Structure 1
Amino acid sequence: MTIQSHHRLLMTGAAGGLGQAMRPRLKANCAFLRLSDLSPMSPAQAGEEMVQADLSDKAAVHNMVADCQAIVHFGGISVEQPWEPILQANIIGLYNLYEAARAHGVKRVVFASSNHVMGFYRQNEVVDATTPPRPDGLYGLSKAFGEDLSRFYFDRYGIETACVRIGSSFPEPKDRRMLATWLSYDDLHRLITACLTTPVLGHSIVYGTSDNSVSWYDNRLAHHIGYRPQDSADDFRDAVYAKTTEPDLADPAVQFQGGAFVKIGPL
């Protein structure tokens, strides 16, 4: 059963893929769910509030955060892009979000980080929360910055953050790489709920994947969060193998955890 842990919860990036998937689920976590995005969103339902905001607009972000007790931050650029939009949304935008959280007394944030923070580790390596970042592009670099920024706001101002290094969250795994990185929508909601309700979160890094037999991620340092995945990419293994070809081990997308992101050139 999902605990209604906050009176008003803010979810940014509500028009994106994960935002749309979490919108009906997160309504159970709060009395009022405030939804925000720069892009158009579907009309508000019962218990929802809508705020259209550009993360790079400081005043708009402060208005967005006011009266919220916690934030689930999916907003910003979610794929590899040229530097300028990443700078505005993922660097300046995240700074604006944490400044607004500080000003309005928000004490807990669930920050959607990414597996691409660690993309240049090889697929035969296992990483944990203490392994140094090796971003595979500007997007991954911006998420590494976000993790450092959130740590600063915890150390200086006591704002607790879970940096969730999301793997590949889709209805089902699409390829062989996702047999290691897949995160079901229901497990993502379980993970967010755990981050919102654990008694002491601190500043934590947790890898966002389901209970997959193949994994490059060690979550032993996040046991205090209480996340227990219930789904597994293993259920899709036969179907994935049937529809995909044998991997080329000389391909960097097969060698490195970041997959095709490690091969993306200047945009």
Structure 2
Amino acid sequence: MIITISSSRYTNKPFCPSSCTKKCASWSASIRSQLDLDHQLLFPAVLTYRLSCDRKALAQMKGRTLGNSASRLHSFLVEQHTAEWMRRSIHYLNTCRKFEVAGVQMPPPQPPPQMVTVPSSGWLLSTYVLESFTRIEELKAKVTSIFGSISVIEHLSLLGLTFCRATSGMTLDQWLKVNVPKTTGWRLQIKMASAAAGVFPTRRDRTCTLCSQRTTRATGHSMHRPTRQSFCQVSDPQNRTVEQWLTELRGGKTEKEMLRDRQRVSRKKKKKKAAILNKKSS
């Protein structure tokens, strides 16, 4: 059955001739992928195992506006399907009245069939994800083109200053050299270069300049935030561990002792708040 914008319609799904007896359709992804792009676009629906959804209905979720969600699409489909079912029911009952003959008692007509229930918003969202995978190459091309255009920036706000290429008469590199410290400009250029290449390193993907490993606790790396000091266990001349290095910077306190101190301070704060509330209530 295919879910369209206004109604639902049934289609035939032949069984697999092998022993699995699983239903399959002629426009399933495994079959469509064998065709060229021109013929793939001729198939109107996105298939799941039991139901299918028309691409025109899923296109309602492609807009970049607020409230454009699967729940809104579900409400829209329920409204449209209900109106279409009522129209067809009225047409059916009106057609049955034409067969009535004066003086002849006819059996009452069969009631119109029940309206097919619209699938849930979760099913619509999962089907939209499947439809998005069919456009994955197009999405990659769009993302690459957006990242490639980052190097040409017309406006930029940085450190309370605003850059406008039209009014300043300078390029971004010239403006950064004049108005921004060298370190800040260098960091911005590194981010722009990585964005243009489509690479956005996260915290876990950062590597140490000394040992070329990930800067995580598992590889023996850490940072003491109050002093902004970093530590690499591999390149440490004293062969200290991360715990030993942090203990020295904390004045001989281990992590367990630091945790106990924090818990003790939090208990004192809670007691003070409770005492203040008791005084106010009394």
* Smaller-chain TM-score bracket: under 0.3
Using CA pairs below 8 Å that are at least 6 residues apart, which structure has the higher relative contact order?
A: 1
Normalised by the length of structure 1, the TM-score is: 0.18
Normalised by the length of structure 2, the TM-score is: 0.17
**Higher helix content, 1 or 2:** 2
Larger Rg: 2
